[in-house]
Amino acid sequence: MACGLLVVVLLVLAVGVHAVWPLLAYPVVDIQISRQSPLPSQPNEQFLAGVGVSDITPPVGIPKMGYSAWARDADGFRNRLKARAFYLKPVNGEPLMVIQADLPASSLVLQRRVAELVASQTDVAVHNLSIHATHTHSGPGQYFSSDFYNTFGSNRPGFDMAVFEFLATQIADAVVQAYQQRRPAKLAIGHTDLYGATKNRAMGAYVRNDTVVDKQQNDAAALRAVNQRQKTARAAVQEKRVQFQEQNDAATKLQGLQRQKQAKGVVEGKRVDKQQNDA
């Protein structure tokens, strides 16, 4: 009995040491980030919008974040990971930069670094720049300000300065693109309720909230215990619409010329005997 108890105690200690040692023994990385003032924002009489896209696919061989110790190093890719930046500036208002990144999670230190990199090239202040992650489990880790995520999120612990700088630089490039592409636009916002697309996966904890009246924990209750409101924003850039219309006009004219050539029996610059074709 005593021997069995000793084995259990040793196993618990081994698991504890295995879980704690990276937090205590792994090298500490010191990052210096300064808060830079952005460019002065110019007054605008119309709503402005711009879009920028950059590739944030890291090199093959780095660990992936999301499956913890069960993850495997990346050995290739099927689709490239992207960062998409959306510049939005209301009439004579503060500009907002919304970034959608194919990353497992966002990171405060990454947001601060991107803001530092773009300050000298855009008018976006640090408090108006936000990074939103798609929560992919096929993206890199080791770029977080959280030691817990850096240690247990991937199959290898630690903060990777090279990955961090790569992501910050690439995302900053998308931000600068969006700023440089800004132009008059129209903004439309819509919403709808989408039931059944997702559910609450922690009903036991959810029903313990004092504000929750419905204490049921069945599947139907789990579907109701989420925010079902889905919102969509669309920015239509006016110049691009004009260009698209011009392209359509050119295509229509080209089709008209082709029909005229066919009616005259001319195909690719050669005369065709219509009687022979009719026969």
Which residue has better confidence, 26 or 94?
94
| Cβ atoms within 10 Å, residue 60 | 10
Residue 276 lies in a domain: no
**Residues 60 and 112 both lie in one domain:** yes
Q: Do residues 148 and 110 share a domain?
A: yes
164 falls within a domain: yes
Q: Tell whether 192 and 157 lie within a shared domain.
A: no
HSE (side-chain half, CA atoms, 13 Å) at 44: 19
Query: What is the C-alpha to C-alpha distance for residues 191 and 118, in angstroms, rounded to an integer?
Result: 32
139: its two tokens: 């993206």
Determine the 3-state secondary structure of 15 from DSSP. helix
CB 64 within 8 A of CB 71: yes
- Asked whether residue 29 is domain-assigned, the answer is no
Asked if the structure places residue 22 within a domain, the reply is no
The answer to whether residue 235 is domain-embedded is yes
pTM, to two decimals: 0.74
What average pLDDT score do residues 69-81 get?
Answer: 86
Q: Would 27 be classed as within a structural domain?
A: no
For residues 210-224, give the mean pLDDT.
Answer: 93
Token representation of residue 206? 């959810």
Give the 3-state DSSP-derived string for 158-212, with helices as H, strands as E and coil as C: CCCHHHHHHHHHHHHHHHHHHHHCCEEEEEEEEEEECCCCCCCCCHHHHCCCCCC
Domain boundary among 149, 181, 213: 181
- Segment 107-119, tens digit of pLDDT: 999 999 999 999 9
> What percent of the chain shows pLDDT beyond 70?
78
Please check whether residue 41 is in contact with residue 123, taking contact to mean a CB–CB distance below 8 angstroms.
Answer: yes
Per-residue burial over 186-209, b = 16 or more CB atoms within 10 Å of its CB, e = otherwise:
eeeeeeeeeeeeeeeeebeebbee
The yes-or-no verdict on residue 27 having pLDDT over 80 is no
Do 120 and 199 belong to one domain?
no
- Per-residue pLDDT averaged across 39-59, rounded? 94
Structural tokens at position 111? 């947001």
Q: Do 236 and 255 belong together in one domain?
A: yes
Are both 80 and 205 inside the same structural domain?
Answer: no
Tell me: pLDDT of 4 over 80: no
Q: How many domains are contained in the chain? A: 2
Of 139, 10, 34, 143, nearest in space to 82 by CA: 139
Confidence of residue 241 (pLDDT cuts 50, 70, 90): very low
The residue from 112, 147, 181 where one domain ends is 181
Domain boundary among 181, 206, 232: 181
Domain range spanning residue 226? Answer: 188-266
Verify that 125 and 224 share a domain, yes or no.
no
Q: What is the pLDDT of residues 162-179, one digit of tens each?
A: 999 999 999 999 999 999
- Domain-located, residue 262: yes
Residue 55 included in any domain: yes
> Which residue, 170, 175, 176, 120, is CA-closest to 143?
170
User: Which has the closest alpha carbon to 65: 153, 162, 136?
Assistant: 153
Same domain for 193 and 223, yes or no, is yes
